[in-house]
Structure 1
Amino acid sequence: MPLIRFTAAMLFALLGGIHQSWCDEPRRTSTTKSIRAKLLRPDLILQSLESPDVSVRRQAVLDLGQCHAKHPNLVPGAMQLLRRSVNDPAFDVVIASIEAAAMIGDLESFGAVAEVLRGDHTPSEAGRILDAIDVPSLRPFWKTSDPFRVVDAAKHLQQKATRQHSMASLAKIKIPTPSSTVIASGREAFMIARCDACHQVAGYGRASGPDLRGIGMCYSNTELIRHILQPSLDLHDTGRFEKFLVTDGRVITGRVIANNLASTDLSSVQVQTDLSNPDAVLSIELKDIEQRQPSPISPMPVGLLNSLTPTQVAELVVYLRSDGGRLAPADSSHEH
């Protein structure tokens, strides 16, 4: 009997070592007492997926994706588990399921979570779903091709999605290497964010706003994102709006497109109040102007990036810094 127990103990230890090699090196996780190593063991993943604790289930789904990506077929019924998790009542687990599918990055894993695009979601949930699913490893299964016929559902989510990007939320995005595919996606992001309403890059868009050529030489990736998020951060004279206080009490803000102040026979200025609309022009009589001063607010709207997923923001940065693919962006490998 002691020999049997000894043999069983040795087998258990051996299997534990195999579990560790199955899913690679230990992952460091924090506890209230110490930092300890946790093995991504299939049996523990299966057990954790049944936990009543949302955070435990969420981590188990991520572990499932990591384990299956490195060792397919190791976790029994992995795709069925992923399909079940994407329907979890806790939305954090739903997002983790999409992230797990992105780790695996094949057609079967995308198929396991694709139905989430057809669900009835709040605007905030729609934004989080699109942010999670719009990654390079999953794009081929819904953007390049559409085997599960979910493109229309994704477009519907895009129309209702809301998100609030910040420097903190975009701090971890990875700026991709320029390629024809990235440039094309960046051009699409340029138009989705309505940058083309006022700016022109590589022949796309309107040139009513400041010229963006050479912007990659002026700003790093981080600086460019910050200036788009906070357009009034650093204003230049080119394209800057002015504020006019007129005698009837109105304050008119816009860009002077026909300045007649130096003329003796003309008595008004033409002010464009919206760079994206060439017809938004007001004529102001010089005699009615009580005050005139530069505006401290940029004509560029705040929140333009909120219409984009983090992946699209990264591609937009490449598009802008490469002048639409015509220039090689300055080296910024140290960023993001």
Structure 2
Amino acid sequence: MSAHLATDLPGTATATPAGADGAAVSLSGLAKCYRGPPEVRAVDGVDLVVPPGQLFGLLGPNGAGKSTTVGMCTTRIRPTSGSVRIEGIDAVADPSRVKRRIGVVTQDNTLDRACTLWENLVYHCRYFGWSGRDARARADELLERFHLADRRDAFPMQISGGMAQRLQVARAIAHRPSVLFLDEPTAGLDPQSRIALWELVHELRADGLTVVLTTHHMEEAQTICDRVAIIDHGRVLVDDTPQRLIAAHGTAATIDVRFGQTPDARLLDRLRAIAGVSDVEPRGDAVRLTTDDRTGLLARVVEAAEGVDLADVTRSGANLEAVFIHLTGRDLRE
């Protein structure tokens, strides 16, 4: 591809293009059924619209249908029924045009281990038709922007997980797409790497990029997403801003208690007996209590733990995790 055509691709610093309906991503009646026995409906009639320039989260537990939905959006999985449109282009009828407009980071590390970091970026651009000169310049630019320039000649197996994930994002946007799909992008990353990755994603969004991400980390999504859809059993349960969802459905609060040892059954029973506690979830040497918003609960929790080595107690108000449990009754880590 010539330099002129490369700069004309979607996803430059100008406003993100949209389809005729004004959407960057539009899903209508989207479904995916895997024949059995037993028959599995991984996605069951999803309707979603993602406006241009939005950071949109598709949330839910493992097996909820998030990755399958993204797979259909990115042309990797063919829908059983319904439609996917990326900037108005049908992903089934015209997958080649859609691929030029999207960047994808999957859950797995798909970097070419036989190529250096720099070569991974150069060959990606070349695959999309860029000239050698433009591809090399783009690789240099992205390595600088993603703080990887000093490792340009290293191979993927020689860098940390956080660096590898940053490189995958850099490669996904190397051909200047306008919609970026991130499937569980922070899985397995340490806190510092997660923060660094989200800072880069926010920078890309400021450039006009639309970002669609899947995650089961509700706290993370509550902080970074403009809008979220909670999906379970292949169906969208709710779709709104995190603040509105919490206001409408966030009836519970949580208290996290960490002990010096794994709590025994008697301690768990005492915690369950506290008025206002609706659920007690053991987590190794810690326990998460789902509670209502009544006052005095922290004191009663401390009283119930008398005689036990109590290391830490924290309380959080209603959040997206509480919204999910309220709507489905399922724990997010199932």
TM-score between both structures, scaled by the size of structure 1: 0.28
Bigger relative CO (Cα 8 Å, ≥ 6 apart): 2
Higher helix share: 1
TM-score by length of 2: 0.28
> Which structure shows the bigger proportion of residues in strand conformation?
2
